[in-house]
Chain A
Amino acid sequence: MKTFIILLQKEFRESWRSFKFLWMPLLFILLGITDPLTNYYMEDILNAVGNMPDGFSLSLPDFVPIDILMASTGQFQSIGLIVFVITIAGMINRERQNGTATLIYVRPISFFALFMSKWVVGSLLGILSVSLGYAGSMYYTAILYGSVDTMSFIQMVMSYCVWIVFATAVALMFSAIFKTAFATTFTIIVIPFGVMIDSLIGQYWHFSPWKLANYSVQLLSDTHNEYYIKTLLLTIILLILAIIIGILFTRKNAGTTKI
């Protein structure tokens, strides 16, 4: 427990000093406020940049708040998620490759504490970023399009955070198993590409972790989704599995640290 706290402190210090806790939330806030703003000004933008033929009239759909939040979620799920998992997928293997891990691994630490310290800091970074991102999106949506039920909104954000925490665990697991280049590739395939693949061919099944984000946004609507709870539970089970595998591989690959 004591080594966990020391390692946690170390991870926080690193993330703080490398400005991760500044730029990652700012990136998500930017992503979050982009959609409400651009959709709102879409007509003006099109008129200003495109040389519309005379008599051409553009009819944009009338957006409701849930559409905008769905669009923001789409931003998080693509650009935001890619940037986030790239950052996480280097947390364990990079230390082994540059040799900084050596002076930690030779001390009486448990690899459980080591992995969990990184997972906790990575998860908090993700939770902070998406919460602020959604807050930004919601703020603009509320001003420009109208509001949604507060409790449902909070529920949605928390539900999305489960997905981010899951993504953190998977990225860290790959980080423990492979070197940086492979870990990053696999993580990007499994997480952001996984989301895309699931949205393309996912109509054949009803619950998978990659659907959790969309199901979370649906919490805002009145329709009841019978698959939501199962999806949530499955995500949590896979999350725990990723952590266990990650810890085992952190220990197994400890000897690969550069000496």
Chain B
Amino acid sequence: MIDINWALVAPLLVIQFILFIVALIDLIRIHETNGPKWVWAIVIIFLNTIGPICYFIFGRKTS
């Protein structure tokens, strides 16, 4: 095992977690998305970091 200083890595995980949670909560509350909601749910849950950001850029409907 790699000897990892968790104090150093923790912020990374925290940020990823915030992105994940905020994207998921927004997805649940939003009225409509570009494309089916369940696809975005999969994207957010399974694609670490990139998933939530893709959702924010392309998933949210602007009109």
Chain A residues close to B by CB (< 8 Å)? 18-20, 22-23, 26-27, 29-30, 33-34, 37, 41, 44-45, 47-48, 83, 86-87, 90, 94, 98-100, 136, 140, 143-144
Q: Which of B1, B4, B22, B60 meets A22, CB within 8 Å? A: B22
In the complex, residue of chain B having the shortest beta-carbon distance to the beta carbon of A258: B63
- The answer to whether B62 touches A23, judged by C-beta atoms less than 8 angstroms apart, is no
Number of interface residues of B (CB under 8 A): 23
In the complex, residue of chain B having the shortest beta-carbon distance to the beta carbon of A29: B15
In the complex, residue of chain A having the shortest beta-carbon distance to the beta carbon of B58: A86
> What are the nearest 3 A-B pairs in CB distance?
A98-B63, A44-B2, A23-B56
In the complex, residue of chain A having the shortest beta-carbon distance to the beta carbon of B49: A30
- The answer to whether B19 touches A94, judged by C-beta atoms less than 8 angstroms apart, is no
The number of A-B residue pairs with CB atoms under 8 Å apart is 58
B7 to chain A, nearest CB (A): 10
Q: Which of A18, A44, A47, A99 meets B60, CB within 8 Å? A: A18
B42 within 8 A of A: no
- The answer to whether A143 touches B8, judged by C-beta atoms less than 8 angstroms apart, is yes
In the complex, residue of chain A having the shortest beta-carbon distance to the beta carbon of B7: A143
- The answer to whether B62 touches A98, judged by C-beta atoms less than 8 angstroms apart, is yes
CA distance A37 to B62 in the complex (A): 36
Contacts A48-B2, A86-B57 hold; do A140 and B8 have CB atoms under 8 A apart?
Answer: yes
CA distance A136 to B8 in the complex (A): 11
- The answer to whether A26 touches B9, judged by C-beta atoms less than 8 angstroms apart, is no
- The answer to whether B52 touches A23, judged by C-beta atoms less than 8 angstroms apart, is yes
B17 to chain A, nearest CB (A): 10
- List B1-53 residues whose CB lies under 8 Å from chain A: 1-4, 8-9, 11-12, 15-16, 18-19, 22-23, 26, 49, 52-53
